[in-house]
Amino acid sequence: MAEIVLTKVKKVYPGDVLAVRDIDLKINDKEFVVLVGPSGCGKSTILRMVAGLEEITAGTIEIENRVVNNIAPKNRDIAMVFQDYALYPHMTVRKNIAFGLKLRKYAREEIEKRVQEAGRILGISELLDRKPRALSGGQRQRVAVGRAIVRHPKAFLFDEPLSNLDARLRTEMRAELKRLHGRLQTTTIYVTHDQEEAMTLGDRIVVLKDGIIHQVGTPLEIYFQPVDRFVGGFVGTPPMNFLNGKLVAENGGVMFDEGTVKLVLPQNKHTAVEDMVGKDAVLGVRPETMHVADSAHSENIMPVHVDVSEPLGENTDLYVSTASNKSVVARVESHPGLEMGKDIKLAVDMEAAHVFEVGADAKNRTVEHSRFAS
């Protein structure tokens, strides 16, 4: 029943570096939560405060209904996997994995049993007598995970554990970590700057920027209902396109006027944007919600010029310029006639588009909330 609750958690580093601002977050028992955000947004700081490696400036952190602010890391019953693996170079794999158990005075047979078990689960049984120096990156990664799981802790904390691996191993280990979580069902907080990793691993994702939580939600919520422009732009590859323009009312409908084209908002979205009519707005369009226009499309069509065409197989990424000379990326079904230099027409699926308001709050911070997020 290891629930982790952060209440108004704040971190100020010496030198008045405000790294985390009043974060509220509840991680449920057995949940796999991913903290994601650009480098420097405070992910590691949050994780390290949960681990007890960093003092909490203000607020409380509870693990299993116990406030741990003043509890030493070793008494929090958590395990952490570091980006650089932090394997003890002078100990064999076996000793690395057993170190925590030994310090906790487990019986010799129990230690051996658990080391063997971890070795089996992670496929490193043959490596137990090697030193970390003699292991590949992927193997070191497994040992680091092994060291975390032998203690059967209340929670796992991962700080960018895959970022030192090459792309193929990363995908492989990603799947393995997911499988491991399915098997052990241990509450997990996982930090990464890679949105794809976040999407594939998390039961829920916490999107952070500048020490603030922008959105908490399931991967699909984050993807389909980003609360603001930052989240919309951060999640998804290629990233969401943003068009600047104005909302206008015409012929009983609401349109987004980009200057050279007008895109019609579907009826069911009118109420959400009623008060924005006549004002500046940003339209968010995911590359995969654009299609090459054919006879079936009659509205929301944008004439564009193909600057670069990248066939990926089934799909092709088109880097195009609009009539107003704005760069846009579209991911469309591959077919002939999409070569560089061609002039084509793209149809925008306005059902899937996002409208972000443009403005400033009382503190003069930019506000780019989505009008469609629930």
Partner 1 sequence: MANANDVAAAKTGAHIEARYSIGHLIVYITLVALALFFLLPFIWQVLTSFKTLLDTERTIWPSVWVPRNYLKVFEQIRFGRYFFNSIFVALWVTTLQVTTSSFAAFAFSRLKWPGRDKVFLLYLATMMIPPVVLMIPNFWIIMRLGLYNSYAGLIVPAAFSAFGTFLLRQFMMTIPSSLDEAATIDGATEWQVFTDIILPLARPGIIVLSIFTFMGNYRSFFWPLILIKDDALRTLPIGLMYFDSVYGQQINLLMAGSVMSIVPLVIVFVIFQRQIISGIQIGAVKG
Ligand X SMILES: Nc1ncnc2c1ncn2[C@@H]1O[C@H](COP(=O)(O)OP(=O)(O)O)[C@@H](O)[C@H]1O
Q: Which stretches of the chain bind ligand X, using CB under 6 A?
A: 13, 15, 17, 19, 37, 39-45
For 53, how many CA atoms within 13 A lie in the half-sphere containing its CB?
13
Least separation in angstroms between residue 188's CB and ligand X is: 17
Contacted by 80, from ligand X, partner 1, Mg ion, none: CB < 5 to 8 Å by type: partner 1
Asked whether position 89 contacts partner 1 by CB under 8 A, the answer is yes
- Among partner 1, Mg ion, ligand X, none, partner that 49 touches (CB below 5 to 8 angstroms by kind): none
Helix (H, G, I), strand (E, B) or coil at 181: helix
Question: Which residue from 12, 58, 69, 73 is in contact with partner 1, where contact means CB under 8 A?
Answer: 73
* Stretch 334-373 residues interacting with partner 1 (CB under 8 A): none
| Ramachandran angles phi, psi of 248, nearest 5° | -130, 150
Distance (Å, whole) CA 3 – CA 160? 22
Instruction: Tell me the β-bridge partners of 27.
Output: 4
Closer residue to partner 1 in complex, CB, 90/152: 90
CB of 232 to ligand X, least distance (A): 20
Name the residue number minimizing CB distance to ligand X.
44
CB of 189 to Mg ion, least distance (A): 13
Q: Which residue has the tokens 């030493």?
A: 72
Distance CA 94, CA 308 (A): 52
When the beta carbons of 103 and 249 are compared against partner 1, the nearer one is: 103
Provide the CB-side half-sphere exposure for 359 (13 A, CA): 11
Can you tell me which of 23, 25, 78, 255 binds partner 1, judged by CB under 8 A?
78
Nearer to ligand X, 192 or 300 (CB): 192
44 touches Mg ion by CB under 5 A: yes
Contact 283, 353 (CB under 8 A): yes
Could you tell me how far CA 77 lies from the centroid of its own chain?
A: 26
The span from the CA of 64 to the CA of 124, in Å, is: 32
Percentages helix, strand, coil for the chain (3-state, rounded to 5) are: 30, 35, 35
Question: Which of Mg ion, ligand X, partner 1, none lies near 13, with the C-beta cut-off 5 to 8 A by kind?
Answer: ligand X
Cis bond leading into 238, ω under 30°?
yes
Range 131-150, binding partner 1 (CB under 8 A):
147
- Partner whose binding site includes residue 45, from Mg ion, ligand X, partner 1, none (CB under 5 to 8 Å by kind): ligand X
CA torsion angle 212 216 221 227 (round to 10): -30
Look at residue 63 and give the partner it binds from Mg ion, ligand X, partner 1, none, a contact being a CB closer than 5 to 8 Å depending on partner kind: none
Q: How far is the CB of 230 from Mg ion (least distance, A)?
A: 18
Tokens of 4: 């982790």
Identified binder of partner 1 from the candidate list 29, 57, 62, 99, rule CB under 8 A: 99
Report, in Å, the least distance between residue 40 CB and ligand X. 4
Residue from the set 26, 82, 257, 262 that interacts with partner 1 by CB under 8 A: 82
Residues near partner 1 (CB under 8 A), total: 22
CA distances 126 to 86, 129, 170, 172, 341, Å, are 21, 8, 22, 20, 56
Question: Cβ closer to Mg ion: 52 or 284?
Answer: 52
**Residue 277 contacts residue 248 (beta carbons within 8 Å):** yes
Among 20, 61, 79, 199, binds partner 1 (CB under 8 A): 79
